[in-house]
Amino acid sequence: MDALSRWMMTEGRCCGDPVKVVSHFCTTLIEAGVPLWRVNIGQHFANPLLIAWGVVWTPEGAESYDVTHDVMLTDSYVGSSFEYILAHRSPLHKSLRALDKEADHISYHEFAEAGGTDYYATLMYYGDGSMHGCTFVTQADNGFTAENLETIEAALPGLSCALEPVTMRKSSRSLLRTYLGDGPSEAVWNGSIKRGERTALDAVVMFTDLRGFTALSDRASEEEVFETLNIYFDVVVQAVEEAGGDVLKFMGDGILSIFPAADGRSREAQCRQAAQAAQTALAGLAAVNTTLAETGKPPLDIGIGLNAGRVSYGNIGSPGRLDFTVLGAAVNLASRIEGLTKSTGHPVLASASVAAGAPGLFASCGRHNVRGVSAPVEIFFLRGGAT
C-alpha cells in the first residue's frame, strides 16, 4: 500500500478530481487482492442545504452524488451502516447472507439481491476532527477476509490525504454559491473582488417583494412566518436561476436579483430573461396559492420591479465583516418601481429600458412620480408572452 499512499499524497491530492481518486483507490485495492464489487466514499458537507456528498464506485464506473438534510430523516439513513458507524465511531462488518427481513436495513437486502455476500463500513478522519463514512461490498463467495479488511484500513489514510482538500474546497465553494449565487461566488473565490473593490457591468435588476408581510408577521407564529417565506423564496429563486439570473440578497421579504449583460449587444436577451423569470414566478405562486386555498390559508401576493442599467457590485463593510451587494441608480429605481405595483394593480412593472429590450412583452401604464426622480417616469406592465 506504500505506492498507493504516495500516489494519493502527490498526484491524487493535487488532481482535485474525487472520481479519479476513488477509482484509482478501488482498482489498486483489487490488484492487491481485495474483491471489491461496490464502494461508497461519503463526505460530510459544511452546507445549510447539503449535508453530504460522495462517490460511488463499481467495476462499470464511478459517479458523484449529493445528499440533502431531508434524507437524514428518511429510512435511507435511519438504521443504515452510515448512521451506525458515525454514532458508534467504529467499523461494521456484516455478512449479507441469511439477513433478517424485519431487523436488517433495506440497503443490505438490496445488495444481497444484487449478488453481494459481505459488507464492511468504516470511517475516515480528517485533520479538523470530522468523520467520513466508507462502505465496501463484495460478491466473493467467502466474503472479505481479515487480511482484506486490514488492507482497506491501511489504505484509508492515503485516501484521506487526497480527499480532504477536495472536501474543504467543495464545502467552501458551495457555501459561497449558497449565499452569493453563481457569478459573484466565482469572483469572490478567485479573489478578484476584495474589500472596497467593485465591478461595473450592465444588468437587468429585479426587485421582488412579498405583499402583506408585516400583517402576516403580526398575526402568525414564527413557524408560519418562516414557512411562508421559504415557500415564497423557493418560487422566486427557482424562477430567477432557471432564467439565468443570480439572486444576490434576501432583505427581509425582499429579494434582489440581477441578470448580468456581458456587453451592450446582450441587453435584449437579459431583458427577456428577466421578464421570463417574473412570469415564471407568478405562475409558480399561482400554483402555491391553489394548495394554500385547499388548506384554508390566505394566498400569497408579490410585486416585481425591473430596471436595466449600469450597476456596481462588490464587497463592502469593515475589515472583519464584509457583505456582497450591488449598488447604483439602476438598483434604486428597480426597488421604487416595484413599490408602484401596489397602486397600479399590476404585479410586474418595468422601466422603459427593460420594455425597449423586450419588445412586445410590456405595455405602458403611463407616467408616474417616483421617489428620488425629479420628473415623472413612464412605467410598463408585463402583459404576458415572455418566452
Q: How many CB atoms sit inside 10 A of residue 168's CB?
A: 15
44 and 168 Cβ atoms separated by less than 8 Å: no
- pLDDT above 60: residue 210: yes
Q: What would the mean pLDDT of 193-209 be, rounded to a whole number?
A: 77
Q: What would the mean pLDDT of 61-75 be, rounded to a whole number?
A: 79
Is the alpha carbon torsion for 94, 98, 103, 107 positive or negative?
Answer: positive
Q: What would the mean pLDDT of 247-270 be, rounded to a whole number?
A: 81
Q: How confident is residue 187, by pLDDT bands cut at 50, 70 and 90?
A: low
Cell 423586450 appears where?
358
Helix residue spans in 248-379 (DSSP H): 267-294, 329-339, 341-344, 352-357
Report the C-alpha gap between 162 and 21 in whole angstroms. 7
Give the pLDDT confidence of 301-316 residue by residue, as tens digits.
Answer: 999 999 999 888 766 6
Determine what percent of the chain falls in helix, strand and coil, rounding each to the nearest 5.
Answer: 45, 30, 25
Report the C-alpha gap between 231 and 298 in whole angstroms. 13
Q: What would the mean pLDDT of 125-135 be, rounded to a whole number?
A: 91
Q: How far is CA 160 from the centre of its chain?
A: 25
Tell me, what's the pLDDT at 124? Answer: 93
Tell me, what's the pLDDT at 221? Answer: 81
Q: How confident is residue 387, by pLDDT bands cut at 50, 70 and 90?
A: very low
More confident residue, 202 or 152: 152
Q: Outline which parts of the chain fall under CATH 3.30.450.40.
A: 2-179
Q: How many CB atoms sit inside 10 A of residue 98's CB?
A: 7
Report the C-alpha gap between 320 and 119 in whole angstroms. 49
Strand order in the sheet with 50-58: 61-68, 50-58, 38-44, 131-138, 118-125, 92-95
Q: What would the mean pLDDT of 363-381 be, rounded to a whole number?
A: 90
- pLDDT above 60: residue 144: yes
- pLDDT above 90: residue 161: yes
Instruction: Give the cell for residue 208.
Output: 421582488
Tell me, what's the pLDDT at 276? Answer: 94
More confident residue, 337 or 192: 337
- pLDDT above 60: residue 328: yes
Report the C-alpha gap between 216 and 231 in whole angstroms. 14
Instruction: Give the cell for residue 253.
Output: 421579504
Tell me, what's the pLDDT at 313? Answer: 73
Q: Please name every residue paired with 54 in a beta bridge, in sequence order, or none if there are none.
A: 42, 65
Q: What would the mean pLDDT of 9-13 be, rounded to a whole number?
A: 91
194 and 322 Cβ atoms separated by less than 8 Å: no
Q: How many helices (H) and strands (E) does the chain have?
A: 13, 14
Please report, for residues 247, 260, 355, the alpha-carbon distance to residue 359 in angstroms, rounded to integers and kept in the order given: 25, 19, 6
124 phi/psi in degrees, rounded to 5: -110, 145
More confident residue, 168 or 386: 168
Q: Outline which parts of the chain fall under CATH 3.30.70.1230.
A: 181-382
Is the alpha carbon torsion for 23, 24, 29, 32 positive or negative?
Answer: positive
271 and 264 Cβ atoms separated by less than 8 Å: no
Give the pLDDT confidence of 269-302 residue by residue, as tens digits.
Answer: 899 999 999 999 999 999 999 988 888 888 889 9
Share of the chain above pLDDT 90, in %: 53
Q: What would the mean pLDDT of 123-134 be, rounded to a whole number?
A: 91
Tell me, what's the pLDDT at 51? Answer: 80
Report the C-alpha gap between 4 and 384 in whole angstroms. 61
Q: What would the mean pLDDT of 144-172 be, rounded to a whole number?
A: 92
What are the b/e assignments for 228-257, b being 16+ CB within 10 Å? bbebbbebbbebbeebebbbbbeeebebbb
Is the alpha carbon torsion for 374, 350, 247, 183 positive or negative?
Answer: negative
Q: How far is CA 306 from the centre of its chain?
A: 25
Q: What pTM was estimated for this model as a whole? A: 0.62
* Of the options 3.60.9.10, 3.30.1950.10, 3.30.390.30, 3.30.450.40, the CATH number for the domain spanning 2-179: 3.30.450.40
The lowest-confidence range among 25-34, 47-56, 141-150, 290-299 is: 47-56
Q: Which residues contact 12 (CB under 8 A, 6 or more apart)?
A: 20, 21, 24, 158, 161, 162
269 phi/psi in degrees, rounded to 5: -60, -40
Q: What would the mean pLDDT of 193-203 be, rounded to a whole number?
A: 68
- pLDDT above 50: residue 386: no
- pLDDT above 50: residue 147: yes
More confident residue, 121 or 249: 121
Superfamily of 181-382 according to CATH:
Nucleotide cyclase, GGDEF domain (3.30.70.1230)
Cell 485516501 appears where?
159
Q: What would the mean pLDDT of 66-81 be, rounded to a whole number?
A: 76
Instruction: Give the cell for residue 359.
Output: 419588445
